[in-house]
Structure 1
């Protein structure tokens, strides 16, 4: 007697006619079981063939894809570190506040154009523009202004180490404002961070035998810049409640650059007072690099990485920025650390690592 069976894989059904004979029943049961086994064997063969095809895929495309992912992950920190060197090189000829302005406003418009091309919403409403404006004042105007002032008086590598100590302040602010626990490892990182910053800044004040001047010391300007960046980082949560974060970042660059234009004019920066034509092609390239790569592209790639769920890796790679700044500052500007500063830099980097890697840190 024939069975009418339909379906594939495990979903095979057989229509069994009514029968009275036990021997026929057994025979029909065996026939049904054989159909199931044959179908399962066929599926196993197909799965084995698919696995063999996957194993036969050349490893080169996988390697290229992996390298590209790592390049995207590391590139913002590379751009930020090398932008410090580029800024340091062009500051004397263009003026500190002009360089800050040039780094912010063109990059801001590029980010706004990018956000618009990806259908992100423009900010709207009083609270949106108020939050962006305050964010711009602290994270753009103050940060870039302090950074430019500090770079005139210290090396790019040392300045970058101090700037990238801002996660230590962020950890404290997040604990105070949001009740986030930093854990034992985080506390150890904060203590080490304070020690490292003291080693970076205090010994420099008396190494040359001159009287200490707070406002004339580049490391202190860099510390102010780091605190501005830390406060701006904490403010992002508030700003993001009212605006798209990428669009808000672009507009905060543009708005934050406006006061720096005014300060640049009042400061009679060389580029504003008519010496812009004296800038060489190398100087112009340095300005473009700090704006396009050091701001627009680096922030764009950073946000792209953040949307891919790699925030832990991003935070743990913070120490790469001063590393790149130190290496390229040495290669192009001949900058070096004193022995005490080197110890302070290493202690600070370790502290940043500990704060970023504490187990119960969430942001």
Structure 2
């Protein structure tokens, strides 16, 4: 029977609420691929991202002025913050929205799993971070899994729209991984909320000129698509982020990692249920291989550091592919 003396590992009410927050977050992030697929079939990819993040940026601006009014952006950080916003919002969502338009929501959600592995690999390349043998093995396994998930039949076919969409998704993952590395220098200067708010606003501004390249496709979109875009803006880009920040403060990082690995599973299931998408067995195997690699790398990483509940901090760099 649990008592107040059980210690930091007791399943407290706060931890229960944090677990519920993670369940809601991964469920909505998983389903978000379906909403993106529906929206980009009617609204051009960049334009859709612009509408989505204009709404989300406005909401986050109100939140940060209310709860962190002293969070000021230093002038010397503006260039790097702008570059990060371009990578994490402008480029990432251009690649992702275009990728989802060409491929399936299920394929897109499977490919998103490679973000943690790419982040480790790029950390090694750019920052000379020490990588263990287990992590190297995990990177190799993840590359194999991603190849299977992206090619389906093991063949590279650039004439296939689905394959090109998968490549766009891989490019999106590279963009986000670089974004997380750039954010390393900001972690001790800005809160996760401030980072996300400022970078989202800057990335949204960069989307404005790019959206004019799609002006020939501009038209009024349906109420259904508007609802999907608002779902992505309000719930996926704002509410889920706030829930995720709360969970990171209460749960061990290995627990949140396991939860995040459920996003592609939910993405595949929702793609099948709502869009009648089919996923080839070899793609499922590829996705499972990548998930195995991520679990192996993360458990080895955090077990070696001896992480305990509440010992990690929340930052923008901790978020997954569907962090906004």
After superposition, the C-alpha distances for 1:28-70 in whole angstroms (9 at most, x for unaligned) are: xxxxxxxxxxxxxxxxxxxxxxx9xx79xxxxxx897665331
Q: From 279, 284, 302, give the equivalent of 1:342.
A: 284
Mapping 1:57-76, distance limit 5 Å: 67-76=16-25
Unaligned runs of 5+ in 1: 1-50, 56-61
For the Cα contact (< 8 Å) 2:152–2:280, is it kept in 1? no
Q: Specify the alignment match of 2:84 in structure 1.
A: 135
Q: Specify the alignment match of 1:250 in structure 2.
A: 197
Q: From 230, 245, 258, give the equivalent of 2:177.
A: 230
Mapping 1:35-50, distance limit 5 Å: none
Q: Specify the alignment match of 1:260 in structure 2.
A: 207
For the Cα contact (< 8 Å) 1:201–1:220, is it kept in 2? yes
Mapping 1:51-62, distance limit 5 Å: none
After superposition, the C-alpha distances for 1:124-154 in whole angstroms (9 at most, x for unaligned) are: 3222222221110111111011001100111
For the Cα contact (< 8 Å) 1:123–1:248, is it kept in 2? no
Mapping 1:148-167, distance limit 5 Å: 148-167=97-116
Segment drifting more, 111-120 vs 283-292: 111-120
Mapping 1:73-88, distance limit 5 Å: 73-88=22-37
TM-superposed deviation, 1:84 = 1.2
Q: Distance in 1 between matches of 2:82 and 2:109?
A: 26
Q: Distance in 2 between matches of 1:68 and 1:342?
A: 31
Q: Specify the alignment match of 2:261 in structure 1.
A: 319
After superposition, the C-alpha distances for 1:174-207 in whole angstroms (9 at most, x for unaligned) are: 3344454443332221111010011122345859
* SS of equivalent to 2:102: coil
Segment drifting more, 198-207 vs 103-112: 198-207
TM-superposed deviation, 1:95 = 1.6
Q: Specify the alignment match of 1:3 in structure 2.
A: none
Q: What is the total number of aligned residue pairs between the two structures?
A: 298
For the Cα contact (< 8 Å) 2:118–2:177, is it kept in 1? yes
TM-superposed deviation, 1:257 = 1.4
TM-superposed deviation, 1:213 = 6.5
TM-superposed deviation, 1:323 = 1.0
Give the TM-score, by structure 1 length: 0.74
Give the TM-score, by structure 2 length: 0.82
Q: Specify the alignment match of 1:34 in structure 2.
A: none
TM-superposed deviation, 1:339 = 2.0
* SS of equivalent to 1:360: helix
